[in-house]
């Protein structure tokens, strides 16, 4: 059996960098294709390919962020929080959505398959030397944002994934101890 210590090391050390701290350069077209090819190598019950990925370069990302305030509904504090953390310099944004209308697989599995697309994007980006952050925030759940992006309201936006380089190393965050979250199943 072939082992890949580099993959294990990457998984143990991978860390998101806050999107507002992402800077150029981002992946070139060949690297982006690699990231996308990795993204779609995910579990997909019944092979329905429920996910969609939209690519927004920096200019398009900036236009999207400029229009978000007009679509915000709700607590003004959440809008201020979003604006304060805006990823101004992030060179690339991938928007992952998942169709949930197929009757071949449960709705939750279609969403979870989209989530694994997001995870693979994060891992592939890290393997290529980039940093990323997977965000949802209020705009992932807003029908006006779905309309703007051309995502049918019946679909779910799974994540906004910002990719770029670091201008500062990411901070490590606390991780749970395995004994706090893992137990051995015992049945009588």
What mean pLDDT is predicted for residues 41-59? 92
| Residue 23 backbone class (left: φ over 0; alpha: ψ -120 to 50; beta: rest) | beta
pLDDT on residue 117: 97
**Six token digits for residue 9:** 């090391």
Q: How confident is the model at residue 169 (pLDDT cuts 50, 70, 90)?
A: confident
Domain CATH number, residue 154: 3.40.109.10
Number of domains observed in the structure of the chain: 1
pLDDT on residue 98: 95
Nearest C-alpha neighbor of 48 from the set 118, 94, 114:
114
Nearest C-alpha neighbor of 86 from the set 62, 70, 67:
62
Q: Does residue 174 belong to any structural domain of this protein? A: no
Domain limits for position 78: 22-168
pLDDT on residue 183: 93
- pLDDT of residue 29 exceeding 80, the answer is yes
Q: Does residue 9 belong to any structural domain of this protein? A: no
Angle, helices 107-127/29-39, rounded to nearest 10 degrees? 140
Kindly report whether the peptide bond that precedes residue 25 is cis, defined as omega within 30 degrees of 0.
yes
73-128 pLDDT, tens digit per residue, is 876 777 777 766 788 899 999 999 998 888 898 899 999 999 999 999 999 999 99
Q: Does residue 183 belong to any structural domain of this protein? A: no
128-142 pLDDT, tens digit per residue, is 999 999 999 889 999
String of DSSP letters for 147-166: HHHT--TTSEEEEEEEEEEE
């Amino acid at each position: 059996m072939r082992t890949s210590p580099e993959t294990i090391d990457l998984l143990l050390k991978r860390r998101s960098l806050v999107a507002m701290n992402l800077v150029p350069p981002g992946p070139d077209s060949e690297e982006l294709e690699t990231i996308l090819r990795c993204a779609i190598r995910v579990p997909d019950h019944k092979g329905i390919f429920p996910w969609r990925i939209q690519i927004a370069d920096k200019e398009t990302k900036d236009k999207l962020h400029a229009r978000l305030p007009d679509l915000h509904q709700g607590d003004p504090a959440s809008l201020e929080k979003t604006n304060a953390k805006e990823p101004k310099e992030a060179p690339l944004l991938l928007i992952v959505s998942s169709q949930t209308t197929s009757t071949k697989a449960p709705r939750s599995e279609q969403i979870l398959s989209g989530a694994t697309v997001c995870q693979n994007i994060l891992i592939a980006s890290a393997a290529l030397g980039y940093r990323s952050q997977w965000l949802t925030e209020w705009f992932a759940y807003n029908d006006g944002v779905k309309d703007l992006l051309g995502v049918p309201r019946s679909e779910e936006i799974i994540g906004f994934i910002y990719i770029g380089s670091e201008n500062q190393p990411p901070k490590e965050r606390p991780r749970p101890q395995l004994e706090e979250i893992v137990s051995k199943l015992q049945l009588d």
